[in-house]
Chain A
Amino acid sequence: MVAVTGTGTARTGALAASARRSWGRWVVLLAAGVYFLVPLYAALRFAVQTPTGGISLGVFGGIPAQQGFADAFGLSINLALVTTLITLALMVPTAIYVHLRLPQVQRLFEGITILPIVIPPVVLIVGVLQVAPAALKGTPYLLALEYAVLAMPFAYRSLASGLQAMNLKTLVEASRSLGGGWFTTAFRVLLPNLRSALLAATILTVALVLGEYTMASLDQYETFPVWVVVFDQENAHVSVAVSLLALIGTWLLLILISLIDTRRGHRASTPGES
């Protein structure tokens, strides 16, 4: 009887502690929500406010017609495409090679790939200028090389997680033992199974290019983010509206990655039939 009472008391205590922890979580979540959402609300309020104090969504509809918008956005889209191609062309074979043949240097390589995050953009620009082909210097596509370096941590991480999720060595050996050459193995076996990782790497790279300001500004090219800042002096309402749309677009892309990852995880854990 004593033991039963003791157990009951302990259980009540545990429930109370759990409820306190649950409240704590909600408080933190609420604080974070306020911290992030209030500025966004303020920006939205500012963007849709008319000079007479009313509210109009017309500012969003007028964005494409703004001077310089189409050129800047077009340049950023071009840069996003070129950067993605360069990044995937460099990172996919490298990540596969490192995971397959040099697993002992995986950690070191991961360390190297995060360097662009800690190295100042000016240093990266100078570094890229040293090795960039002369034909690219003086064109906005020089930025694509710089962005490829900047995208490396995100692209490599996405690919590495995709490679770790698959049984790379066995799949390659199975393909080779069945007569598959490297081309067949890469395009029929590896890349189709890396689809989610490739998509994630692509989306992150595109998001990075569409949002990068410092390098473009230092190189004096008017990309989309640079245009937003410059246009801010002309029409702050439009500039804020564009920024909000860009932010929402990036969020949607990230949610897409998350959904794809969830689906992949669910697929991997679906039990087979006996």
Chain B
Amino acid sequence: MTIPATSRDTTTPTTDIATARGAGGALVEFRDLRRSFGTTRALDGLTLTLQPGEMVALLGPSGCGKTTALRVLAGMETVDSGQVLVDGGDLRGVPTRRRDMGMVFQNYSLFPNMTALDNVAFGLRVRGRNNAARRARAGELLDMVGLAERATRYPHQLSGGQQQRVALARALAIEPRVLLLDEPLSALDAKVRLQLREQIRTLQTRLGTTTLFVTHDQEEALSMADRVGVMRGGRLEQIATPGELYARPSTAFVAEFVGTMNRLPAEVVPGGIRVLGQVITPVDVAGRSVGAAVDALIRPEGLTAEPVEHGSGIVAHKTFLGGTTRLSVLLSEELTVQVDSPSVHAARLTIGESVDITARDTQVLVADPTGPSTTR
């Protein structure tokens, strides 16, 4: 790789977010967290800071350690070494119930024996609030998530989306220092997921609660979070704003994990690479000798397809995406590339038509060659 992977959060923003949101949330710091389960390293030196009021999403494949990190913050998991601090206070030895963290779980977690209102009021009851106060507050929260009229329903009388909204209200009712979201939308259908995504983000922004959000859905992470941390093997591969993560991934893993990425065979030339028969400069090829075989990582929007006779590829498939159309272009038996083309332009191309693929002057990453890989 041209840029070494790092487990450190080097992009911690200033307190702009906190100031903008009224500093309702807490400052959360993970310092060099390590945790192993047998021979598996779930956390391998994770360092991360969440500014007050910030929403950070941890994104990564299964087993990357994102859920472990969240559970460590919740106090449901211990670490082998490292520190978790909230507003400067070390949480070591503080039990889950004393951490003041609202959590929304992946599985439906409402108490089946209680109505929606009683579920939301549970945390307040535990805190000794009187009946009138906790009912008023619970009603307020249910109203906030748009379920005031369902207050007397039991969980089995609510849909999955409604249950998760009640769970969100329940987590927020205790005015948590930190809100923890453990893949809360993964069990819901696409339409409900989209609605709830917006609702969570709106509420979180309004209340200014520092939020750690764990997901394996990149669309969810990129659309909701202030910053997204991509994890791999218990380490933070990169953390950045969604735009930066997409446009300037620091490693091949991030580049291929976030969004769609073409992996094309290339050769190192002075100051750049030769790919698809053209030279692209400047490209960071530090540490690689001229003539070395590499893979070029280029996003679909970084390529163009022009119809020509006897071109380098054949249009194999077209997917209409609205303003753009994604073309699958067959360059050889083993190599297919994805090209995003304006739909007006793509409409003129037919399946089986010969095209030439060229790379735009765009951000290109190089990685060690992995054989005839195509698109990730």
Contact = CB atoms under 8 A, between A and B. Distances in A.
Contact of A184 (B98, B103, B126, B167): B126
A232 to B, nearest CB: 47
A15 interface: no
Interface stretch (A20-28, A59-67, A167-175): A167-175
The CB with the most chain B CB atoms within 10 A, among A178, A179, A188, A268, is that of A178
Contact of B156 (A171, A173, A195, A268): A268
Interface of A: 166-167, 170-171, 173-181, 184, 188-189, 192-193, 195, 267-268, 270-274
Contacts of A173: 74, 76, 96, 103, 105, 109
Contacts of B103: 173-174, 177
B259 interface: no
B97 A177 contact: yes
Interface stretch (B4-12, B157-165, B205-213, B238-246): B157-165
A272 B154 CA distance: 10
Contact of B108 (A167, A176, A270, A274): A167
A170 B292 CA distance: 52
B96 A192 contact: no
Instruction: Give chain B's interface residue range (CB within 8 Å of chain A).
Output: 35 or more
A170 B113 contact: no
A144 B158 CA distance: 44
Contact of A179 (B97, B105, B108): B97
A179 B160 contact: no
A181 B97 contact: yes
B156 A267 contact: yes
A16 B103 CA distance: 58
A176 B96 contact: yes
B97 A270 contact: no
A179 B156 contact: no
17 contacts: A167-B107, A173-B96, A173-B103, A173-B109, A174-B105, A174-B170, A175-B122, A176-B76, A176-B95, A177-B180, A178-B123, A179-B127, A181-B126, A184-B126, A272-B157, A273-B159, A274-B159
Interface in B80-132: 95-103, 105, 107-113, 122-123, 126-127
A167 B109 contact: yes
Contacts of A170: 105, 107-109
Contact of B162 (A174, A181, A184, A273): A273
A171 B109 contact: yes
Given A170-B107, A173-B105, A193-B112, A273 B97 contact: no
Contacts of B158: 272-273
B230 interface: no
A272 B162 contact: yes
A175 B155 CA distance: 15
Contacts of B163: 272
B111 A171 contact: yes
Nearest 6 interchain pairs by C-beta: A178-B123, A192-B113, A272-B159, A174-B109, A179-B126, A176-B96
Nearest to B102: A177
Contacts of A195: 113
A272 B108 CA distance: 13
B296 interface: no
A223 B168 CA distance: 55
B159 A174 contact: no
Contacts of B283: none
Contacts of A176: 76, 95-97
A180 B126 contact: yes
Given A193-B112, A273-B157, 16 more contacts: A173-B96, A174-B109, A174-B111, A175-B122, A176-B95, A177-B102, A178-B123, A179-B123, A180-B97, A181-B126, A184-B126, A267-B156, A270-B156, A272-B156, A272-B162, A274-B159
Contacts of B156: 267-268, 270, 272
B258 interface: no
A178 to B, nearest CB: 4
